[in-house]
Structure 1
Amino acid sequence: MKHTKKHIFCSIMIILIVAFDQITKYFASLKLADGSVAKFIPGVVQFKYAENTGMAFSMLSGARWVFIALTVVVCVGVFYYLFSNRCKSLWLYWSLGVILSGGIGNLIDRIRFGYVVDFIEPTFVNFAIFNIADCAVTCGAVVLVGYLLYDAFKDVKKPKENSDG
């Protein structure tokens, strides 16, 4: 099996993001599960413990095994695609790696607890409470969409001007 620097660095990135996600969730559970709130940046963001049994914004709560099965299938597919040397674009490669790390982070929670630990709450806007894995999925998805748009339009050429003079 051919190991490249790209795969090694991506593996390290995935491990670090998953570890950071799990460590922050551990401390959120330890310090905030009693209902306390920790102001982080007053008026902007605070830390508040929440258990999410659904997906984004708690949609489809209670479908734990569906989420686990779907997440496993997607993560295995992305992992295979990344590490089979099929992915030629670094932008695509890294965005999928970041998305994969977020998926793994939340998958760990779903398997261990039956819910995902969320704790980052924006206070300047009415928005869902989320976690580091959610941030990874979102950031990776934004970069992925940007890459896909760039890739879709990179070969589009402007019509040639008529030079009949």
Structure 2
Amino acid sequence: MSGRWIFLAVALSAIAADQAVKAWVRAALVERESIGSPWPGVFEITLTYNDGIAFGMLRGAGVLLAPIALAIVLVAAIYSFRHSYQGRAIHFAMGALAGGAVGNLIDRLWLGKVTDMFWFRWIDFPVFNVADACITVSAVMMMLVWTFEPKVAPAPQESEPAAELPNAETPQADSRNEA
């Protein structure tokens, strides 16, 4: 599967999973209500809303962040499409980044705030959602790929003729002696 298809498949899957989980939680719970804990005292599914960005920063600025989300999606798509020769991991990461950004953007535009539901109560970690997880995983993947994956140069385009170099074994005519 080419890098472009990986990007698109991961982005669309992230958006679909994020929106499906958010719709389910909004239908099943009222704000601040929790579903029976999968791990009591450790992890809960609790409906909350965030009208800012991660960790509750920039409260009330959610809709104003739409252009930033669109820019992130555009940069991720352009990077993935222009670097199609790179390994699958970077395309997966870019797709997860774009999908997460779009997932939260849909909430911001539709609700004016982002739906969050996953809460690691044991460490009192801020409540987050599938889109947030995708963005975080993509950031970690990008750091790992750009740190440890060997650098790969793009293959030359077939429309660009390679510069012909003289063969070292072929004697070259000396123009000074021919006159």
TM-score scaled to structure 2, two decimals? 0.76
Whichever residue aligns with residue 23 of structure 2, its letter is Y
The runs of 4+ residues in structure 1 deviating greater than 6 Å are: none
Whichever residue aligns with residue 11 of structure 2, its letter is I
Alignment of 1:121-132 (within 5 A): 121-132=119-130
Please list the CA deviations of residues 108-135 of structure 1 after superposition, one character each: whole Å capped at 9, or x if unmatched: 1111111100011112111100000011
- Counterpart secondary structure, 1:124: helix
In 2, the alpha carbon distance for the partners of 1:6 and 1:150 equals 19
Give the gaps of 5 or more residues in structure 2. Answer: 152-179
| Contact preservation (8 Å) 1:68, 1:110 | yes
Q: CA RMSD in A?
A: 2.1
Establish whether residue 148 from structure 1 lines up as the match of residue 146 from structure 2.
yes
Give the drift of 1:22.
0.3
Task: Summarize the Cα distance change of 1:6–1:152 in structure 2 as closer, same or farther, 3 Å threshold.
Answer: closer
Give the drift of 1:30.
1.0
Q: Match for residue 67 of structure 2?
A: 69
Task: Summarize the Cα distance change of 1:64–1:34 in structure 2 as closer, same or farther, 3 Å threshold.
Answer: closer
Structure holding more helix per residue: 1
Q: Match for residue 36 of structure 1?
A: 33
% identical aligned pairs? 25
The aligned length equals 150
Moved more, 128-137 or 33-42: 33-42
Q: Match for residue 52 of structure 1?
A: 50
Whichever residue aligns with residue 27 of structure 2, its letter is L
* Structure (1 or 2) with the larger CA radius of gyration: 2
Alignment of 1:19-30 (within 5 A): 19-30=16-27
Alignment of 1:90-105 (within 5 A): 90-105=88-103
TM-score scaled to structure 1, two decimals? 0.81
- Counterpart secondary structure, 2:47: strand
Give the drift of 1:86.
5.2
Task: Summarize the Cα distance change of 1:85–1:133 in structure 2 as closer, same or farther, 3 Å threshold.
Answer: same
Give the drift of 1:34.
4.8
- Counterpart secondary structure, 2:115: strand
In 1, the alpha carbon distance for the partners of 2:96 and 2:82 equals 17
Give the drift of 1:107.
0.8
